[in-house]
Structure 1
Amino acid sequence: MKDCLTIRKYVEKKALCLLFLFVPVMSAAQQGAGWEAVLGEMAALEDEPEAAFEEMHDVLSAVAEHPININAAGRTGLERLPFLTDRQIEDIQEYIGRHGVMRTTGELQMIPSLDNARRRLLECLVYAGEPPHDGRRPLSESIKNGRHTLVATAKIPFYSRKGDINGYLGYPFKHWFRYDFDCGYRLRAGVVGAHDAGEPFFSAGNNTGYDYYSYYVVMRDIRPFETIAVGKYRFRTGMGLVLGNSFGIGKTAALSGSSRSGAVIRGHSSRSEAGYFRGAAATARLSRRIKAGVFVSHRPMDATLNADGTAATIITSGYHRRPEEMAKKNNTHAAAAGLTAAYSSDGIHVGATAVYTRLDRQLRPKTGAVFRQYYAAGSDFVNLGLDYGYIAGALTFRGETATDRHGAIATINTVGVTVAGGLSLTAVQRFYSYRYTSLYAGGFSDGGSIRNESGLYLAADWNISRRVSLSAYTDFAYFPWPRYRVSGSSKSADNMLSASYKAGAWTVGGRYRLRLRERDNEQKTALVPRTEHRARVSAVYAGPAGYWNCAAQTDFSQAGGDDVSRGWMFSGRVGHRRPCFSVSLSAAYFDTDDYDSRVYLHESGILHTFCFPSFHGNGIHCSLFATASVWSGMTVNARLAHTAYFDRSTIGSGYQAIDSSSVIDLEVQARMRF
């Protein structure tokens, strides 16, 4: 048996080496030059992508299906693109106003505040069409010209988990559907049904079929309302200290500024079972300078209960595979209401937000651990926030200050300046009291939450020429109260430097990230430093449509203190695209000492799915992605992924344990548009 295992490992390794001989010569990514590849690069800079990237991917998927006419979009249309800052939107509008029209998207290079990543995203999502004619198109005409889209997806594993054999209530297949009725900017409606592997279907508590449903209707420009949302939706104001349950894109987003000012409402069209409201919301422009918004919500949540029936923690995973998980489903409810108001004139913005939330169970976290002592507690929550900003020439200033019912303060302030020569500088200061609590906060932080953190972030983004760009940031954070695995006050430093060079169809890039943190020693008597190094070198050849492209990438990682953990990965992708058919193959070999030195890989994925797996240990990973237009309006996508480990005989633990050293997954998707 051991001899067979040895032969198998030898064959797999040799086959991989042979594959990599071809990858640098003819490798490609089916979406290597598309918006998904750019978003993947932005996520890769974060090393550990947040769930926020899933939301970003979902929104941009919808825009990609209906690209925006940049000459007709106006400010409200450009605000559909969540990666743009206020400064960038102002500069685009100013450019179009000065020249009358943007003739090609290549003119985006003339806007200095646009860094390379955002410019490339824009080129994929907008087009330079005819300028708008006088008068608005009636809503009835928009509805008549609307398009229906139905997407059905299934993920089939060619293996069994421990829970699939004994423990899970349902079968091992994951599947979901999504229906959208899209009339462009003015009206969008949809329904989503999602089912995770192991969850029951039409049984054991899920009598309506899918474990999770989302539904929404979003209307815009229905005067006097700017936006009206009914069903499940997301609402964000200011910089997210009070209402941040939309998304940001990590520290890389702050290279040219932070979140936009004003209220933003979007339909909750993703499969995430957290971070949304259920009810109705609206924003209206009361005058040329004043805008107001309101929302009401009542939604169920999952919670782990204490013996007295109070809630110990709010659960956001959305898994209901085992009887104990199903027992927690929708066992707590939250009612919320909020008001927003904003004034803007001549580059000045001032806004206010007030939110009240009541839980039908008292939230009482277990405070035996010191780091949980100031977690959100009680059944009534009140948050007030004031956001402000000023844009003048090359200078941008923005900030928000918020408080909770106990008077605890959270504040964040940013200053950005665009210097001649394509250089943008940004500074972000924040102070989040360890006593501050908000159930819906989400914004810029190093610790992952809007509490218990003070910090200063400095960044520079320099587009030296159309070919060369440099980006760098340094972020220092201080955490006054103990955190998980940190028994006292601690600090951290995060530093990143990246560069890219583009020559014709070739793009060569590199980046290095250094993170310094503190953690308890084994005896929990003192804090010990933890250092993390991550480096990446990549080369991409993006040939014309219909030709082979190529991409290759090498990653290095080192983490730890006295116990250093190292890892590396080499990956490549090969593919080809035609108008009605495309295919891509990716492969990677990874070798890391443990989980601390894990590596990440962005891959082509099926629609509405952000594919960014991580790997640790020693093994190979391969995936084959193909898409074909079967007939007019019908597209079929498929992704086959295989991961084989050389250093273990089982994968995972607990109910997710797989009694094998390799796994194979198949995802199949059909999309119909009519």
Structure 2
Amino acid sequence: MHFSRYIILVIGLLHMYAVSAQTDVDLIVERLTELTAEEVAEDFDFSELIERLDYYQRHPIDLNNTDGRALRDLQFVPQLFIDNLLEHRDRSGKFVAIYELQAIEGLDIELLRLLLPYVTVGVSSSLSDVGMVELLREGEHELMVRYGRILQRRRGYEITDTARSRYLGSPDQVFARYRYQFGRDVQVALNMKKDAGEAFFAGAQRYGFDFYSGSLYIRNQGKLTDVVVGDYALQFGQGLAMWGGLGFGKGAMIQGIAKQATGLRPYTSSNEVLFLRGGAATLAFGHLSVTPFLSLRRLDGSISHMGDSISAVSSLSQAGLHRTPAEVANRGAVQQWVSGTNVQYQYRRLRMGITSYYTRFDKAVEPRQLLRNQYAFRGKALWNTSIYYNHSWRGIYLFGEAAHSHGSGFAFANGLIATLHPHLSLALHYRNYQRNYHSFFSQGLATGSSVSNERGFYSGLVYHPSRKVEWMVYADFFQFPWLRYRVDAPSHGIDMLTQFTFTWYKKANVSVRYRYRKRQENATLELPHRTLGDVSRQQVRVNGQYKLNAIWSMRNRVELSHYQKEGDVTELGLMVYHDVIYKPMHARLSGNMRLAVFGIPGYNTRIYAYENDVLYAYSFPLYHNDGIRAYLNLRYRFARKMDIWLRYATFVYRDVTEVGSGLDAIAGNRRSDIRIQWRWRF
């Protein structure tokens, strides 16, 4: 061992107290998902990410055995740093302690603090010479059941007229999951889910739960590096052609613009979309890996009749809800086949790959005859092909992808992340998604809702003048060459965000954020011809957290939201909250609570705020109107292997007689919900 490595180890141990505080998983989740949450449904399930973080916290990644895939699973570790880590290990030998990470280029103190709970230096397990009896005896089992419901009665449950739309089931929400894991080489996953309003062992759900999902995952078996039977997700390149499961993009962590592709993974989320069902495997041949995949599943869709007994799909549903007669009628209305292959070459810091797959439906997709749908996909079959690359060199990480939907358009994305100085990093990203490009599995960086009809250029900077200070800024300029929903002409806009953070290690941190977004929509004013007007949203956020002692922490936020549209009324909203967190190290009881006060005129000035929840469940409810928000989470550990969580949350609005709309409307001014969760590891 080189003498310098002893010095690094001693320095690392001296700094242990400063950086070894247990990572707040909530902080990682919030940073990765906070901007994503504004673009998806309020109850979007982020449990896939939470499950990964929880697993790697209990089973840390061995720095001396990882090939980088597990580090990519964490989502917050830049690929440039992963490449530097692997090269450092090849050049200097195996790690002697995790604090040797400080010698690797591209690691700042914040990344080290986030990474420490997920890595170790040790010996990994494998399936070699392991029998079936040992698999069952030595593996880890986990059973979890969650129950929840809104306490107030919603309108959809009160309608008894069978000719009207109504909810067919109870307001109970039930989710059950089972996991079996033997090290990192074997995993069995099973999810069962019933949403509020869906029937249970009755009607369309006569088999019990509305949604079942399961998979068997085996890895590291010689040339067979990964194999999944059941539900799975594929992530390749920059998400232009094939990306299932969670995907992140613009946010306070600028490295998020470079997608962290994990290849083949089992699908373990409770989201009822964005996955494949069948089988897939990855085989390695030296520097080359091949992933063939096959999927067959039924999707929800609105069926329209074209005449002569011919039916077509006017739209595919992404909600996964089957509560009303119409939703039940659309359930599983379309059959989807997907088959294809990915081939990837990797040599040191260079990765190149090609993905090609074929999608076919049993009914033709025929969107409504609207001008904005002129370039939308039509037909029964689609062939997609993409080529991607990423490479790091001397502090610069390059990445990109080019995708083509055969017979129609192209999509391109290229970017770089560069360390200009030990305290300064730069991120650039250019995208061009043609209006006639189509893919049913794309999640590339985009401002719009799909990888289509968009051009944009993103640039971001992160500056670390010291261990206590971080300043980041990004600007994203974008154009939509064709029409969109509520935008009857080509349009453009800008998205800017800057954030300053000051941290007192282990004690407190404060951040100030400003975000400005401007885009165009159809003008409110009635004119002889349709024109576009500028719509701008500005948000200012001041966030702080203070640790009183080893048990109690406080968290506060003040956020302002400003909305303005040409020819319309300007709106200004305000939200303030205070959190109290009780988390003793070894006590049976822990918990947290929040009290928020908000005055927000309407939906245009809505504010999203991350909330703690029971394990594997995190929420980003939107605040609008005037009122208060409060919640309380409690966790009690009965033993080392058994836990129970209890959550109560409520909105109380001022000067309203009804909360919500349509079938979700509640008489009165209150909307409250409870959640109970039990987990047993054995």
TM-score norm. by structure 2 comes to 0.89
Q: Which residue number corresponds to residue 38 of structure 1?
A: 28
Are positions 1:218 and 2:211 aligned together?
no
**Greater relative contact order (Cα < 8 A, sep 6+):** 1
CA distance in 1, matches of 2:670, 2:108: 41
Instruction: Give me the identity figure in percent.
Output: 27
- The correspondence for 1:606, drawn from 608, 614, 617, is 614
- The correspondence for 1:82, drawn from 75, 79, 82, is 75
**What secondary structure does 2:85 align onto?**
helix
CA 1:263–1:666 in 2, change beyond 3 Å: closer, same or farther? Answer: closer
CA deviations on 1:272-300 (whole Å, 9 max, x unpaired) are 0101100001111112x111111000001
- Check the 8 A contact 2:47/2:270 in 1, yes or no: no
Are positions 1:429 and 2:430 aligned together?
yes
Q: Which residue number corresponds to residue 571 of structure 1?
A: 577
State the Cα distance separating 1:110 from its structure 2 match: 5.1
CA deviations on 1:153-205 (whole Å, 9 max, x unpaired) are 00032210001222211111111100000123211111100000110000011
Q: Where does 1:140-179 land on structure 2 (aligned, <5 Å)?
A: 140=131, 144-166=137-159, 167-179=166-178
State the Cα distance separating 1:246 from its structure 2 match: 2.9
CA distance in 2, matches of 1:175, 1:301: 22
- The correspondence for 2:637, drawn from 629, 638, 642, is 629
- Check the 8 A contact 1:77/1:185 in 2, yes or no: no
Are positions 1:558 and 2:562 aligned together?
yes
Q: Which residue number corresponds to residue 355 of structure 2?
A: 353
Q: Where does 1:316-465 land on structure 2 (aligned, <5 Å)?
A: 316-368=318-370, 370-465=371-466
State the Cα distance separating 1:41 from its structure 2 match: 3.4
**What secondary structure does 2:215 align onto?**
strand
Are positions 1:527 and 2:532 aligned together?
yes
State the Cα distance separating 1:115 from its structure 2 match: 6.0
Amino acid at match of 1:129: V
Are positions 1:301 and 2:294 aligned together?
no
Q: Which residue number corresponds to residue 187 of structure 1?
A: 186
**What secondary structure does 1:466 align onto?**
coil
Q: Pick which of 136-145 and 355-364 moved more.
A: 136-145
CA 1:447–1:245 in 2, change beyond 3 Å: closer, same or farther? Answer: same
Amino acid at match of 1:48: E
Are positions 1:537 and 2:532 aligned together?
no
CA distance in 2, matches of 1:377, 1:44: 34
Q: Where does 1:232-251 land on structure 2 (aligned, <5 Å)?
A: 232-251=231-250
CA distance in 1, matches of 2:57, 2:629: 29
CA distance in 2, matches of 1:600, 1:455: 25
Are positions 1:66 and 2:68 aligned together?
no
State the Cα distance separating 1:226 from its structure 2 match: 1.1
State the Cα distance separating 1:70 from its structure 2 match: 3.5
CA 1:348–1:650 in 2, change beyond 3 Å: closer, same or farther? Answer: same
- Check the 8 A contact 1:281/1:295 in 2, yes or no: yes
CA distance in 2, matches of 1:67, 1:121: 13
Amino acid at match of 2:535: R
Q: Which residue number corresponds to residue 3 of structure 2?
A: none
State the Cα distance separating 1:268 from its structure 2 match: 1.3
- The correspondence for 1:129, drawn from 96, 101, 121, is 121
- Structure 1 alignment gaps of length 5 or more: 1-30
**What secondary structure does 1:326 align onto?**
helix
CA distance in 1, matches of 2:180, 2:127: 20
Q: Which residue number corresponds to residue 669 of structure 2?
A: 661
State the Cα distance separating 1:36 from its structure 2 match: 1.8
Count of residue correspondences: 639
- Check the 8 A contact 2:239/2:259 in 1, yes or no: no
CA deviations on 1:221-276 (whole Å, 9 max, x unpaired) are 11111110110111111111110123222212871264457661121111101011
- The correspondence for 1:508, drawn from 487, 507, 510, is 510
- Check the 8 A contact 1:238/1:259 in 2, yes or no: no
CA 1:139–1:459 in 2, change beyond 3 Å: closer, same or farther? Answer: farther
Amino acid at match of 2:374: Q
**What secondary structure does 2:663 align onto?**
helix
- Check the 8 A contact 1:35/1:120 in 2, yes or no: no
- The correspondence for 1:647, drawn from 646, 652, 655, is 655
CA 1:466–1:137 in 2, change beyond 3 Å: closer, same or farther? Answer: farther
- Check the 8 A contact 1:149/1:673 in 2, yes or no: yes
**What secondary structure does 2:659 align onto?**
coil
- Structure 2 alignment gaps of length 5 or more: 1-20, 160-165
CA 1:416–1:74 in 2, change beyond 3 Å: closer, same or farther? Answer: same
CA distance in 2, matches of 1:600, 1:255: 20
CA distance in 2, matches of 1:611, 1:571: 15
Q: Which residue number corresponds to residue 553 of structure 2?
A: 549
CA distance in 2, matches of 1:205, 1:240: 35
State the Cα distance separating 1:610 from its structure 2 match: 1.8
- Check the 8 A contact 2:389/2:399 in 1, yes or no: yes
CA deviations on 1:630-656 (whole Å, 9 max, x unpaired) are 123110001110110003111000000
**What secondary structure does 1:251 align onto?**
coil
**What secondary structure does 1:252 align onto?**
coil
- Check the 8 A contact 2:562/2:605 in 1, yes or no: yes
- Check the 8 A contact 1:337/1:356 in 2, yes or no: yes
- Check the 8 A contact 2:37/2:620 in 1, yes or no: no
CA distance in 1, matches of 2:96, 2:472: 29
- Check the 8 A contact 2:614/2:646 in 1, yes or no: yes
- Check the 8 A contact 2:45/2:618 in 1, yes or no: no
CA distance in 1, matches of 2:360, 2:239: 20
TM-score norm. by structure 1 comes to 0.90
CA distance in 2, matches of 1:448, 1:117: 32
State the Cα distance separating 1:612 from its structure 2 match: 1.2
CA distance in 2, matches of 1:116, 1:331: 52
Q: Which residue number corresponds to residue 586 of structure 1?
A: 594
CA 1:52–1:155 in 2, change beyond 3 Å: closer, same or farther? Answer: closer
State the Cα distance separating 1:97 from its structure 2 match: 4.6
- Check the 8 A contact 1:427/1:456 in 2, yes or no: yes
- Check the 8 A contact 2:250/2:257 in 1, yes or no: no
State the Cα distance separating 1:320 from its structure 2 match: 0.6
Amino acid at match of 1:560: Q
Amino acid at match of 1:36: D
- Check the 8 A contact 1:142/1:186 in 2, yes or no: no
Amino acid at match of 1:555: E
Amino acid at match of 1:491: H
- Check the 8 A contact 2:250/2:256 in 1, yes or no: no
- Check the 8 A contact 1:52/1:249 in 2, yes or no: no
CA distance in 2, matches of 1:107, 1:514: 40
CA 1:445–1:139 in 2, change beyond 3 Å: closer, same or farther? Answer: farther
CA deviations on 1:393-442 (whole Å, 9 max, x unpaired) are 21111111011121411010012211222311111011000000011111
Q: Which residue number corresponds to residue 312 of structure 2?
A: 310
Q: Which residue number corresponds to residue 18 of structure 1?
A: none
